[in-house]
Amino acid sequence: MTEPQRSGGRPRWGLRALVLAGILAASYGLAVLVARPHVPDPATNPYTGKRGASLAKSAGLLIRYRRGEEVRAVNPQTVLRAGDVLDFTVRGDGPAYLEVRFKDGASPPQTLFPTAGTPTTPAVAPGQELPSVAPIGPSAGKVVVTAIFSDRPRPVGVPADAESRPTTAVISKE
């Protein structure tokens, strides 16, 4: 088969270049469309932790209370009294960034960890005891402890977002 000729007897290279550019652009567009990674929607697929992580070691706090000389772990049946003091130990399968919030009855919520003046959440390790303790006051109501874990530092005091894993413990009081 012979090449299409222009009036001067030369092949039409401009037409071939234009057709080649069109084919390459279509191939690139198809590759971008097909190779685009799927990003799950956080509303329908919430964060479930690291792959292969143990649920027994999932991020959380071990909360203990001290009543006089007695030290016990808080469980769902625990009833706290005024004067009890809460201690916290980090649980987890690896390091994370943590903020701990505390609300005692009608009193306003407060941040227990990190200490006041710290702008971002610090890194903690599993088994680490937190330096904060929470004395239980005489007000009526329940004690609410919220721990917000994340994989990156986040500003202290802001609401939990899709990237963080909040855990809340509600403890009864006398």
Convert the pLDDT of each residue in 106-155 to its tens digit: 888 899 999 888 899 999 999 999 986 778 988 888 999 999 999 999 99
**pLDDT at residue number 148:** 93
- Domain layout of the chain by residue ranges: 57-173
Beta partners for residue 62, in sequence order: 89
Distance CA 119, CA 34 (A): 42
Find, among 168, 167, 164, 166, the residue nearest to 42 by Cα. Answer: 164
Place 31 in a pLDDT band, splitting at 50, 70 and 90.
confident
pTM: 0.65
Which of the two residues, 106 and 49, has the higher pLDDT score? 106
The CATH class for the domain spanning 57-173 reads mainly beta
Residue that the structure tokens 């413990």 belong to: 169
| Residue 8 confidence (pLDDT) | 58
pLDDT for position 117? 85
Model confidence at 35: pLDDT above 70: yes
Q: With 90 as the cut, is the pLDDT of residue 29 above it?
A: no
Query: How many whole angstroms separate alpha carbon 121 and alpha carbon 100?
Result: 10
Binned at pLDDT 50, 70 and 90, residue 60 comes out as confident
pLDDT digits (tens, 9 = 90+) for 80-115: 999 999 999 998 888 999 999 999 988 888 999 998
Rounded-to-integer distance, Cα 71 and Cα 144, Å = 19
- Is residue 34's pLDDT more than 60? yes
DSSP notation for 12-58: -HHHHHHHHHHHHHHHHHHHHHHHPPP---TTTS----STT--GGG-
Instruction: Write the burial class of residue 136 (CB in 10 Å: 0-12 exposed, 13-18 middle, 19+ buried).
Output: buried
To the nearest whole number, what is the mean pLDDT of the chain?
83
Q: What is the pLDDT of residue 40?
A: 67
Cβ within 8 Å of residue 125, ≥6 positions away: 90, 95
Which pLDDT does position 99 carry in this prediction?
93
48 vs 155, which has greater pLDDT?
Answer: 155
